[in-house]
Amino acid sequence: MTTPTDTPSTPDAPLMTGAEILVKCLEREGVDTIFAYPGGASMPIHQALTRSTQIRTILPRHEQGGAFAAEGYARVTGRAGVVMSTSGPGGTNLITGIADAYLDSVPLIAITGQVASPLIGKGAFQETDMFGMSLPVVKHNYLVLDIADIPRVIKEAFHIAQTGRPGPVLIDMPKNVQEAKASPVFPTTIDLPGYNPLPKAKDAALQKMLDLIAGAKQPMIYCGGGIISGEASGELLEFVERTGIPVATTLMGVGGFPEDHPLALKWLGMHGTVYANNAVNEADVVLAISVRFDDRVTSKVERFCEHATIVHLDIDASEINKNKPVQLAIQSDVKYALGRLNCLLEAAGKKRAAAPVAYPEWYAKIEAWKQKYPLAFRDTGEIIQQQYVVSLLCEMTKGEAIITTGVGQHQMWAGQFYNFRKPRTFLTSAGLGTMGFGYPAALGAKVARPEMEVIDIDGDGSFLMNVQELAMAHIEGIAAKAIILNNQHLGMVVQWEDLKYGSNRAHTFLGDPKDLDRIYPNYVDICHGFGVKCERVLHKKDLRAAIQRMLDAKETYVLDVMVPYTEHVLPMIPGGMSYKDVITDQTNSKLSAQQGAQLPTAL
């Protein structure tokens, strides 16, 4: 509904089509880029986009690639990425990207063309119920049946996607609504009763949190992606330096706290550091800030932090006590809560100090874990190890690049061996774990941040899933880079085969079984076909120069680096087990078939 402060059209204002009104609404929301693949049910919108001087329309080569590119744009900017498809298969191809954004709390506007409204429910050509299909994986969705609703719907959609806990919003628009004509009325305010995107903690609850800290001897902060989406990294750093509490992040929280800080323990969970997992699980007070207590962090959840007093601070009430019962629950916008905590600490005389002094015995215990279980790997001579590639890339970029990843072993090594100091510099599919995310996400990130070096660290299996987006990169001149850690296998599944199934290979070899000496597929030839520069690296002695050529390139560039498939991501806590069951040595990570059969079924 409109409000008295809406901006009405004048009586003699020209009529606009629904598609033109939609584009004008996008412009009014500050949209400068849309990733859109056309089709019969979205053609009117594409026609209107050709007349926009503000919005750059980028053509992906698959709707899923467009969704991931829009996510990459959103993840580095904090603003909603926008993706559009036609009806039917175009819309269903977006679903994976929408679900990815939902699980990782990424603001995304997905627009789908729909068959004409009289045909809805009739099984028309390329008809799918996008409203119903998307319901489980959106923050909100709309089916627009009246042209007069377009301005309100678009304004609400951006507000919902970008405020509170961010997430995707889908807008399904029938073709006849796109082609209808009206004089639009553009609302300037939003009326959403019951939607309170920024709850604020009471000082009394925050003081209880500070009282628990005052009585702690081994406190820990375990924080997640909400620190980044809530723009609270600065407040977190100040809070840590006022309290002296060490910090472990989730994979989604990487970059939310500088990993070169003396109180940083990097990230915890299945492939997190031993010292982060030990510290969180052996703390007496755990401050869980903007986290979900997901299974990749907690593993056997009833044994996670089983002796600690847990404080859970989160913007989303549905997450509190969902997976793990806690002793103190605080629902609040994290930026506000940490800001108020810092004010209370200042009033109590707790000054900010970069050097940790508050818990010397606790620091010493953590340091002993760091010395005993460092993130390290064994040098194997001329064989190029995946960890070495990431470490060298971090050295050569000085840790200043935006890194995206696909999903698999390379994703974990990227998080382990690249050191992140700033938010919105590590883009990965954490919740849904979607292979094929890395390269299109890098393209979207590069469009949003053209001044930054953007590099996708990928695996050969994951890269192939959206390899067609090399065309988007070349045609649109998007100079994102990619390093493929090519082991000719689905490496993470191979690791589990080694762990649980006596190394029996069950369809995890990606090469050509008829010619084992051939590297298959040939990414150098594939990239050449797309007009993209690519080189293959076989020897460690050639790697540094190859990376430098990639970094010096002014256009998109791919390095195909051949690595062994026998390398395991360590440390590793097998699914369903506790932090005390961590595997730290590859010689101990190949269990017998009998032992493997006794492991929990969850990966």
Euclidean distance between CA atoms 364 and 571, whole angstroms: 21
pLDDT, averaged across the chain? 95
Using the Cα atoms of residue 403, residue 404, residue 408 and residue 410 in order, give the sign of their dihedral.
Answer: negative
Q: In which residue ranges of the chain is pLDDT below 70?
A: 1-12, 587-603
Q: Specify the pLDDT at position 204.
A: 98
Q: Is 175 a catalytic residue?
A: yes
CA distances from 373 to 278, 369, 376, 434, 586 (A): 11, 6, 8, 30, 13
Residue type for 68, please?
F
pTM for this predicted structure = 0.95
Q: Specify the pLDDT at position 601.
A: 38
* Strand, helix or coil for residue 267: strand
Polymer length in residues for the chain: 603
Q: Specify the pLDDT at position 382.
A: 87
Euclidean distance between CA atoms 573 and 270, whole angstroms: 5
Q: Is 492 a catalytic residue?
A: yes
Nearest residue to 148 (alpha-carbon basis) of 184, 188, 176, 120 = 184
* Strand, helix or coil for residue 57: strand
Q: Specify the pLDDT at position 14.
A: 86
Domains belonging to the chain, first-starting first, are: 16-182 (3.40.50.970), 203-372 (3.40.50.1220), 386-570 (3.40.50.970)
Percent of the chain with pLDDT over 90: 93
Q: Which one is catalytic: 24, 35, 63, 324? A: 63
**95, 96, 98, 103: CA torsion to nearest 10:** 140
| CB atoms inside a 10 Å sphere around CB 592 | 9
Q: Specify the pLDDT at position 603.
A: 39
| CB atoms inside a 10 Å sphere around CB 432 | 18
User: pLDDT tens for residues 567-601?
Assistant: 999 999 998 899 999 999 876 655 433 333 333 33
Q: How far apart are the first and last CA of the chain?
A: 48
Cβ-proximal residues to 148 (8 Å cutoff; 6+ apart), any chain: 182, 184, 185
Q: Which one is catalytic: 173, 220, 492, 572? A: 492
Specify whether the CB–CB gap between 199 and 301 falls below 8 A.
Answer: no
Q: Is 63 a catalytic residue?
A: yes
Token reading at 178:
């796109």
Nearest residue to 464 (alpha-carbon basis) of 567, 566, 558 = 558
Token reading at 47:
């026609």
Where helices occur in 380-457 by DSSP H, the ranges are 386-397, 409-417, 438-448
Q: Which one is catalytic: 27, 43, 126, 535? A: 126
Q: Which residues pair with 169 in a beta bridge?
A: 109, 140
Euclidean distance between CA atoms 213 and 211, whole angstroms: 5
DSSP state, 348?
T
Residue type for 392, please?
L
Q: Specify the pLDDT at position 580.
A: 94
Q: Which residues pair with 16 in a beta bridge?
A: 182
Q: Which one is catalytic: 175, 300, 481, 500? A: 175
Tokens 């305010």 sit on residue: 189
Note every long-range contact of 510-514, with CB atoms under 8 Å and residues 24 or more positions apart, other chains counting: 510/460, 510/461, 510/464
Q: Specify the pLDDT at position 1.
A: 32
Q: Specify the pLDDT at position 183.
A: 97
